Structure 1
Amino acid sequence: MISETVAERMRATPVDDVFTHGGQIRPDGRLIHDFYIWQVKSPAESKASWDYYKPVGTIDGHQAMQPLSETRCPYLKT
């Protein structure tokens, strides 16, 4: 089927866009990507009217998401 071919290609292609860098689509359809922890800046720290947040940490996507072995995806259970 064409849809299976497209899904395979999507899973094989890393996701790199404005929101996700080095993301990976798992067989259950979840997008695995790093999560960023942000802190609100104080008014003294802000350099412009749009400058609200500063990055303070990152959570690895593989640790943040449910393991594939615990998936409840009915497609993979068959």
Structure 2
Amino acid sequence: MFVSLQFRLELKKEDKEKLIRLMRKQSSPIRVAYRRLLISLVFPILGKVLSILVEEVWDRVRSRLASLEVGGASR
């Protein structure tokens, strides 16, 4: 669920500076938390999908490979 607010504040200069500093301090931890959540949820799923794709591609490549024959015997 997302909540969006929009408003206009009329502040004194010193209060405005305090608010800006506070917002800057809060934005960094939120970005870090979002990245950690993304990594913990997306990368395991992406890893499984990639391993399945690589496995399928390797099966196709392996099926096309010709067996090598040396001296009449295949290795």
TM-score range, shorter chain: under 0.3
Task: Give the strand-richer structure, 1 or 2.
Answer: 1
- Structure with the bigger percentage of helix: 2
TM-score normalised by length of structure 1: 0.23
Q: TM-score of the superposition, structure 2-length normalised? A: 0.24
